[in-house]
Amino acid sequence: MTVADWIKSATTQLKAAEIPSAKLDAEVLLGHVLKKDRGWIIGHGDTPLEKSHLTELTRALKRRTNRTPLAYITHRKEFYGLDLYVDERVLCPRTETESAVEQIIKLAPANASVLDMGTGSGAIAIAIKKHRGDLDASGSEVSVEALAVAKKNADSILGKNAITLLESDLFDNITAQYDIVVANLPYVTKSFELLPEVAQEPDVALFGGDDDGLHLYRKFFEALPKHLASPGLVYIESDPWQQEELIKLAKRAGLEKQFEDYFILGFGRV
């Protein structure tokens, strides 16, 4: 079987599994197994595949047709221009989260301290530190398994000890104050109809309560004032329909809205 033959067969199977990006996913899987970029894959359609590669490709294709996220198969996810390692221990970083990173890179005062709460793969904290080396960036996470992934990424992209990683359930193990706090806490409710790929991501990174999904954000805003410097900035991610309630929670914590994107809200301390 050649490269082109496999792509054609895999694309057909992925389409049957109702995966919209079938051909692209087939090319990415093939590139992952062969350790070649997409340009090579496209330009070498007549190249025959080795038996060992076909065996590995069969396993990878089966996982993808079962709707395992592509990033969990390739262990790669791009975020704000960075190539992150991801696996089943962490949420796959979302493009919409980059909006918060962009705001912090642009607005953070020189040498400011930044806390990325619920850091997961470390995406936000690492991206901020990569583009603003003057900032003192930290990431906190309740999941020890996720912290191991964040450390792997931080060491690989930034070097050892470039950011501080803390195990903490919200602010429970945190005593410091920060100039900027960014939080991407779980905000999905059990009533959400999730995509099959999303349903395979860690529950601890997704679900924020049975009612409106804001259980953790209520606790976050209650504890936030003593951990936020004045002046200070806060950025949070949520579903748009939750933002009205989040703005009320922030106001009760002494914050005023300064930025609003589709998924991201930014606040300043009054």
Which CATH number does the domain housing residue 147 bear?
A: 3.40.50.150
Q: Are residues 96 and 216 in the same domain?
A: yes
Give residue 103's Cα distance to chain centre.
17
Of 50, 66, 82, the residue that ends a domain is 66
Question: Which pLDDT score is estimated for 194?
Answer: 82
Tokens representing residue 70 in the block:
């592509």
Exposure on the CB side of residue 195, measured as CA atoms within 13 A: 10
Q: Are residues 155 and 237 in the same domain?
A: yes
Q: Are residues 200 and 252 in the same domain?
A: yes
In a domain, 80, yes or no: no
- Domain limits for position 14: 3-66
Q: Are residues 62 and 118 in the same domain?
A: no
Provide the residue-wise pLDDT of the chain in tens; the chain has 270 residues.
999 999 999 999 999 999 999 999 999 999 999 999 989 999 999 999 999 999 999 999 999 999 999 999 999 999 999 999 999 999 999 999 999 999 999 999 999 999 999 999 999 999 999 999 999 999 999 999 999 999 999 999 999 999 999 999 999 999 999 999 999 999 888 777 788 898 888 888 888 877 889 999 999 999 999 999 999 999 999 999 999 999 999 999 999 999 999 999 999 987
Q: Are residues 23 and 112 in the same domain?
A: no
Cβ–Cβ < 8 Å for 57, 71: no
Of 126, 124, 167, 131, whose CA–CA distance to 146 is shortest? Answer: 167
Q: Are residues 124 and 234 in the same domain?
A: yes
* This prediction's pTM: 0.93
Q: Are residues 177 and 219 in the same domain?
A: yes
Of 100, 269, 91, whose CA–CA distance to 183 is shortest? Answer: 100
Q: How far apart are CA 166 and CA 187, in angstroms?
A: 21
Quickly list H helices, 159-237. Answer: 203-206, 215-223
In a domain, 126, yes or no: yes
Q: Are residues 51 and 97 in the same domain?
A: no
Q: Which residues pair with 167 in a beta bridge?
A: 141
Cβ–Cβ < 8 Å for 130, 157: yes
